[in-house]
Amino acid sequence: MSGGGDGAGLARALDQAAANKASAIISFGVAGGLAPGLASGAALVARSIVAEDGQRYYGDPKWSRRLSTALGGAPIVDMAGVDAPVVDHATKHALHLRTGAFAVDMESHIAARVAAAHGLPFAAFRVVADPAERRLPHAALVGMQADGSLALGAVARSLLRDPRQVPQLLQAALDARAAFTALLRGRKMLVGALGFTEFRELVLDLPPEDVIGRSLPV
């Protein structure tokens, strides 16, 4: 389950799911790359999630192995969980050195925390959207709303203030498209391998469009 950047809403939804006798919690979505050399679209499975307070939440080994196998041998690595975007190379590099994490996202630590509180198995599957070497432009950050939709007005205003962002924004769009294509491919691979007949309820943060407004494949 993922929350599109709405951490409080995600925590509430997960608590409700756990109260309704969920059997496990899987965090599913995109992430920022922290380790050098990870390209956009690279699929990763969490060995553990390191939160900003230093707390480390381990994925259930059996679930993690099942995810990795279902995804064609996706690497099982440590990931970081944060409450605000990590956008520039220097900050990504520092987080990688401090935590050993290969990727970072804004939901997995919340999902892991709820799973631990309810004694549920936890796993995370994440796809790299912005490689460690990239800096996300301001227009890309303000363009994504909490529900995953695109705020075209905010993007336009940001570009008007600083047109030099255009090449970075176009690169971010290409990276995002590669990531969401890989994420949707992974969803299809997991449906059969894990025995789900319907996976849509787990995919709460997939926007219908990429960051420049083109339709994404479903």
Task: Check residue 80 and give its pLDDT.
Answer: 97
Grouping H, G, I as helix, E, B as strand and the rest as coil, residue 124 is: strand
Q: Around Cβ 41, how many Cβ atoms within 10 Å?
A: 21
Q: Over 50: is that where the pLDDT of 199 sits?
A: no
| Residue 211 domain-assigned (yes or no) | no
| Residue 100 domain-assigned (yes or no) | yes
- Alpha carbon 160 to its chain's center: 29
Q: Over 90: is that where the pLDDT of 71 sits?
A: yes
Of residues 74 and 188, which shows the higher confidence score?
74
Q: With bands split at pLDDT 50, 70 and 90, how would you rate the model's confidence at 192? A: low
The single residue listed with the structure tokens 């990531």 is: 179
| Residue 216 domain-assigned (yes or no) | no
| Residue 12 domain-assigned (yes or no) | yes
| DSSP-assigned letters across all residues of 1-43 | ---TT-HHHHHHHHHHHHHTT-S-EEEEEEEEE-STTPPTT-E
- pLDDT tens-digit series, residues 16-56: 888 888 888 889 899 999 999 999 999 999 999 999 999 99
How large is the average pLDDT for residues 186-195? 74
- pLDDT tens-digit series, residues 128-174: 999 999 888 887 777 666 655 667 788 888 888 988 889 888 888 88
Q: Which domain holds residue 118?
A: 7-202
Span of 103-112, 150-159, 190-199 with lowest mean pLDDT: 190-199
Residues 6+ apart with CB under 8 A from 165: 137, 138, 139, 158, 159
CA distance 206 to 216: 9
How large is the average pLDDT for residues 190-194? 70
Q: For the domain that residue 168 is a member of, what is the CATH number?
A: 3.40.50.1580
Burial class (CB in 10 A: 0-12, 13-18, 19+), 173: middle
Give the predicted TM-score (pTM) of the model.
0.80
CA distance 30 to 52: 18
| Residue 192 domain-assigned (yes or no) | yes
| Residue 50 domain-assigned (yes or no) | yes
In contact, 165 and 157? CB cutoff 8 Å: no
Burial class (CB in 10 A: 0-12, 13-18, 19+), 66: middle
Task: Check residue 195 and give its pLDDT.
Answer: 59
CA angle 54, 60, 63 (to 5 degrees): 140
Total domains, the chain: 1
| Residue 214 domain-assigned (yes or no) | no
* Angle (deg, nearest 10), helices 108-118 and 7-19: 30
| Residue 207 domain-assigned (yes or no) | no
Token couple for 129: 């959207």
